[in-house]
Amino acid sequence: MKLSVWTYEGPPHVGALRVATAMKGLHYVLHAPQGDTYADLLFTMIERRNHRPPVTYTTFQARDLGADTANLFKTAAQAAYDRFQPQAMIVGASCTAELIQDDPGGMAEQMGLPCPVIALDLPSYQRKENFGADETLFQLVRNLARPMDRTGHVTANLIGPTALGFRHRDDITEVTALLEDMGISVNVCAPFNATPEDLTRLGASHFNVLMYPETGEAACRWMERELDQPFTKTVPIGVGATRDFIAEVAQITGQEPYLDDSRLRLPWYSASVDSTYLTGKRVFLFGDGTHVAAAARVARDEMGFEVVGLGCYNREMARPIRALAKDYGVEALITDDYLDVEQRIEELAPEMILGTQMERHIGKRLGIPCAVISAPVHVQDFPARYSPQMGIEGANVIFDTWVHPLVMGLEEHLLHMFRDDFEFHDDAGASHHGHKAKPAPQPEKAEEPQPANDNSSITWLDDAEKELKKIPFFVRGKARRNTETFAAERGMTQISLDTLYEAKAHYAR
Amino acid sequence: MTDDSAPLPAAGCRDAPVLKQRGQHEVFCGLTGIIWLHRKMQDAFFLVVGSRTCAHLLQSAAGVMIFAEPRFGTAILEETDLAGLADAQVELEREVARLLERRKDIRQLFLVGSCPSEVIKLDLARAAEKLSLQHAPHVRVLNYSGSGIETTFTEGEDACLASMVPVLPDTDERQLLVVGALPDVVEDQMLDLLSKMGIDNVKVLPARRADSTLAVGPNTSFILTQPFLGGTLAALGKRGARHIPAPFPFGEEGTTAWLRAVAMEFGVDITLFDTVTHAPRARAKKAISQASEKLDGKSVFFFPDSQLEIPLARFLTRECGMTAIEVGAPYIHKGVVGPDLDLLEEGPTLSEGQDVEMQLDRCRAAQPDLTVCGLGLANPLEAEGLATKWAIELVFTPVHFYEQAGDLAGLFSRPLNRRAKLRLEAAE
């Protein structure tokens, strides 16, 4: 057993639901107890879908346990077919049904329903939501896609976008435009808005664009093997990645590389003097592997930040993320326990967090600005406006989103110059955060909590401690850390005012 | 006692036939009760023994609350627990010990059963007994099931409160026990009204803290504030306490009838009762009439959710001028909602349980002016052109007693008001 409050991912059948809900003409019969229908509201509320997810729950109850649950499953499957007349069905068990061992796949096969019925085997006690989505799409593709003649002109499939995906809706539009500019059209986008019939046509395209490895990699690998379709390895998030993606597509297809960057603003915005203050901002990244890897490159190479830590919650991406962390000279954090993430953030004291909904809460608690780069996300990150992460417009969106939570350059100077100003005390917060400003705390208030660190053997002398407090709150964590590291490296046990300023000079940038 | 309420119906719904259907239930499981119970019981921790699904449900339902140092969590079962490789009792004891070590403020710990733990027959009752001994006297460990196979939504609160009843101390004192978790502000209003009638020895289950003076015995009379507390009613009966049947305190009429039942039980003078209730009754009526202008003459259709449906249908039809087409409840306990059924005019279909597809067919055919349903159905029905009131809000908002009567009517009129206000089409 493992005690948990937050989970970054739901159970695997929620992943299957994400695939089913993304598609049309597919129905999911889920052997599950009363109550598991809660998952419906992820789609109707968070994603604000205007229809019910295409899923029938068998809703067994305590009194059905025993022989009756099997009949319940058959009745539900038959009723679902009769009512919705889907082109194909997927059947499977949720965590509780997995324990009662009714074998939905076998039962559905016996029923001889007049449409393809695909059984899902999703181990609820080992795997999680992303695996569920990846495996479901893989099983659908494996059962439905067949080798066929390629289309006359060059086409691609878009693989991976699902329901409840972070910005999947708009990424599809953006990637479709990137390809069209190169004269490549989209054959099938799956699972988002695809029908089972569409999946039978997957084989007609010349190659696959793997948009999200978490939810599409197994399907792409199968198609590479069975349908002889290469797939792209670069996820086009950020300017550099988008250019690499275009080059990769050109190489696969033999088309001329072409990128219409007339609307691309990130490079100039980032180069303009207004952005100089972003240089070396210390950021911590956490989320799913794909978005973290992409964000790390944008952060370092396109925004000029310093990546002080990164990690992901999905073990499936642990290997590439560890390799990436090595490149960045930091230690990777692979965990699905948000307390570990919180502890790492506290240790690193970054100036900004790029993460998920959970990191936003952690940032709020620690007073560190945060922007969201990855699922899981709440309703506000399914925006009405066009806001992709991928491609040209994606880069523009990323620039705005990441800069917004930071204290602006001029404000930063003013805060520093007038640090004793009654309006610019620690609790006032950044002016644009919209919090009601709190009055300045009385002097000689309780000590602020010391961030946990390895340098606990070092003591701060009063003068130095006082001076440290004059440093604006959003850089104080870094100053404290740097000074302690500086002192530790020199074998000092006390930090005086001089040590503080020597450390400042040492780390000047 | 003066009574200027609407006339009693010629025939109520107590003996009306009930449509019972099996099929997909679009409802929450009892685990969701934890979301409001942990706010009410300030030194209690709710430890669900379940799967990732249970943790995911709580997180999705609790939203931002998860980051306000919540007093609930899930001990997620792993492969080794299922394969019998690990002794689940030992594992559980380890998790509990770690938790209590970190949270010294916890005085009551609830081990909450889930579908997986029930199906693999984890004996949480025995675990609770053992843990209670280990951690006595500082922490008391209790057990109940909030699983979907046994409980629907608010029944989780029932199971929780019922689990507390057998361990309450005995008392011979003459006292009133008010049962059901209410928001503090509502609870205080209720206590104030009772006190003005001279009923001062009033206890509330659940109490805000474990060290309250809550006790029960043969001279205890109890009244429910929530209709989903059938199990707790039975448990209190076993302790010799006496149930005061009454309509539920929704709206002006419901509150008056509820208070009157208590007044009768405790021999309160009629003049005193009228004096105490006169002003708040007038206030409530006025507030309802303002909020319910939009509701008058409109039809309403209830999908099953919380068992609040019958008392609320009674309130909406008798005090807001609505017509009920169908009143669906996950479970109908006539010993509890009988007085409300008596007041509900014959006519609407009463349904218990659910086949959601068939119920949706009936709803679409009836085209009600307002549909009360869960969040899984609300947006899809809105997209079909039906106005909805999502039902969870009725559990998460102060709605009981006189001062909230206007707010309660307002919850139902708001979606209709909004529809009237939005002008999303081009001008003709």
What's the whole-number mean pLDDT along residues B1-19? 80
Q: Give how far B377 is from chain A: nearest CA, Å.
A: 7
B70 and A CB contact within 8 Å: yes
Residue B11 in this model has a pLDDT that exceeds 60? yes
pLDDT at A5: 82
Residue of B nearest to A359 (CA): B67
* A345-403 pLDDT tens trace: 999 999 999 999 999 989 988 888 999 999 999 999 999 999 999 999 999 999 999 99
Query: Nearest CA to A91 among A100, A102, A83, A82?
Result: A102
State the average pLDDT for chain A.
90
Residue B86 in this model has a pLDDT that exceeds 80? no
* B248-285 pLDDT tens trace: 999 999 999 999 999 999 999 999 999 999 999 999 99
pLDDT at A448: 45
pLDDT at B212: 80
Query: Does the distance separating the beta carbons of A57 and B24 come in below 8 Å?
Result: yes
A27 and B CB contact within 8 Å: no
Q: Which residues of B touch A10 (CB under 8 A)?
A: 52-53, 56
Q: Which of the four pLDDT bands, split at 50, 70 and 90, describes residue A412? A: low
Residue of A nearest to B92 (CA): A1
Query: Does the distance separating the beta carbons of B76 and A2 come in below 8 Å?
Result: yes
Q: Which of residues 194-253 of A touch B (CB under 8 A)?
A: none
Q: Which residues of B touch A36 (CB under 8 A)?
A: 29, 53, 148
DSSP A39: G
Q: Which of residues 373-392 of A touch B (CB under 8 A)?
A: 378
Residue of A nearest to B70 (CA): A5
Q: Which has the higher per-residue pLDDT, B70 or A150?
A: A150
CA distance B421 to B426: 14
What's the whole-number mean pLDDT along residues B358-378? 97
A59 and B CB contact within 8 Å: yes
Q: Which of the four pLDDT bands, split at 50, 70 and 90, describes residue A150? A: very high
Q: Which of residues 363-392 of B touch A (CB under 8 A)?
A: 374-380, 382-383
Residue of A nearest to B46 (CA): A5
Query: Does the distance separating the beta carbons of A5 and B380 come in below 8 Å?
Result: no
Measure the CA dihedral A303/A309/A313/A317, to 10°. 80
Residue B149 has its nearest CB partner, among A1, A62, A361, at A62
Q: Which residues of A touch B56 (CB under 8 A)?
A: 7, 10-11, 14, 39
Place of tokens 């991406």: A317
pLDDT at B6: 76
pLDDT at A447: 44
Q: Which residues of B touch A38 (CB under 8 A)?
A: 28-29, 32, 57, 60-61, 376
CA distance B13 to A16: 43
What's the whole-number mean pLDDT along residues B229-245? 97
CB-CB neighbours of B321 under 10 Å:
15
Q: Give how far B236 is from chain A: nearest CA, Å.
A: 25
Query: Does the distance separating the beta carbons of B27 and A7 come in below 8 Å?
Result: no
Query: Does the distance separating the beta carbons of A51 and B383 come in below 8 Å?
Result: yes
Lowest mean pLDDT among A359-373, A433-447, B326-340: A433-447
What's the whole-number mean pLDDT along residues A79-83? 96
Q: Give how far B27 is from chain A: nearest CA, Å.
A: 6
What's the whole-number mean pLDDT along residues A39-47? 93
Q: Which residues of A touch B152 (CB under 8 A)?
A: 34-35
Residue B120 has its nearest CB partner, among A6, A9, A99, at A99
DSSP B14: T
pLDDT at A445: 41
CA distance A28 to A13: 10
State the average pLDDT for chain B.
93
| Full DSSP string of B251-274 | HHHHHHHHHHHHHHHTT--HHHHH
Q: Which residues of A touch B304 (CB under 8 A)?
A: none
Please confirm, yes or no, whether A381 is among the known catalytic residues. Answer: no
Burial-class residue A379 by CB neighbours within 10 Å (0-12, 13-18, 19+).
Answer: exposed
Residue A429 in this model has a pLDDT that exceeds 60? no
CA distance A442 to A423: 13
pLDDT at A410: 62
Q: Which of the four pLDDT bands, split at 50, 70 and 90, describes residue A478? A: confident
* A160-172 pLDDT tens trace: 999 999 999 999 9
Residue A446 in this model has a pLDDT that exceeds 50? no
Q: Give how far B147 is from chain A: nearest CA, Å.
A: 8
Range with the largest mean pLDDT of A212-221, A427-436, B113-122: A212-221
Q: Which of the four pLDDT bands, split at 50, 70 and 90, describes residue B150? A: very high
Q: Which residues of A touch B374 (CB under 8 A)?
A: 41
Token couple for A471: 């440093």
Residue A43 in this model has a pLDDT that exceeds 90? yes
pLDDT at A129: 97
In A196-316, the DSSP E strands lie at 207-210, 282-287, 306-312
Q: Are strands A282-287 and B140-145 parallel, antiparallel or unpaired?
A: unpaired
A45 and B CB contact within 8 Å: yes
pLDDT at A414: 65
* B191-218 pLDDT tens trace: 999 999 999 999 999 999 987 889 999 9
Which of B24, B99, B352, B386 to mutate to probe the A interface, most A CBs <10 Å?
Answer: B24
H-only helix segments in B41-181: 52-62, 79-82, 88-102, 115-119, 124-135, 155-164
Which of A96, A129, A131, A339 to mutate to probe the B interface, most B CBs <10 Å?
Answer: A96
What's the whole-number mean pLDDT along residues B123-133? 94
What's the whole-number mean pLDDT along residues B307-330? 97
B156 and A CB contact within 8 Å: no
H-only helix segments in A101-230: 104-111, 129-144, 168-181, 196-200, 213-226
Over pLDDT 90: what percentage of chain A? 71
Query: Does the distance separating the beta carbons of A99 and B119 come in below 8 Å?
Result: yes
Residue B425 in this model has a pLDDT that exceeds 90? no
Query: Does the distance separating the beta carbons of B88 and A13 come in below 8 Å?
Result: no
Q: Which residues of A touch B79 (CB under 8 A)?
A: 125-126
Q: Which residues of B touch A363 (CB under 8 A)?
A: none
What's the whole-number mean pLDDT along residues B305-323? 97
Q: Which residue among the candidates A121, A260, A274, A463 is catalytic per the annotation?
A: A274
Q: Give how far B423 is from chain A: nearest CA, Å.
A: 18
Query: Nearest CA to B395 among B40, B19, B59?
Result: B40
Q: Give how far A3 is from chain B: nearest CA, Å.
A: 4
Residue A37 has its nearest CB partner, among B73, B82, B376, at B376
Residue of B nearest to A48 (CA): B379
B309 and A CB contact within 8 Å: no
B79 and A CB contact within 8 Å: yes
pLDDT at B1: 47
pLDDT at A501: 86
What's the whole-number mean pLDDT along residues B172-200? 96
Range with the largest mean pLDDT of A400-409, B54-63, B131-140, B356-365: B356-365
pLDDT at B136: 86
Residues 6+ apart with CB under 8 A from A428: A437, A438, A440
Q: Which residues of B touch A37 (CB under 8 A)?
A: 24-27, 376
Q: Which of residues 164-183 of B touch A (CB under 8 A)?
A: none
pLDDT at B84: 74
Sign for the pseudo-dihedral over CA of A401, A406, A409, A410:
positive
Q: Is the peptide bond before A191 cis (omega within 30 degrees of 0)?
A: yes
Residue of A nearest to B47 (CA): A3
Query: In DSSP terms, which residues pair with A237 in a beta bridge?
Result: A390
Query: In DSSP terms, which residues pair with A119 in a beta bridge?
Result: A91
Q: Which residues of A touch B383 (CB under 8 A)?
A: 50-51
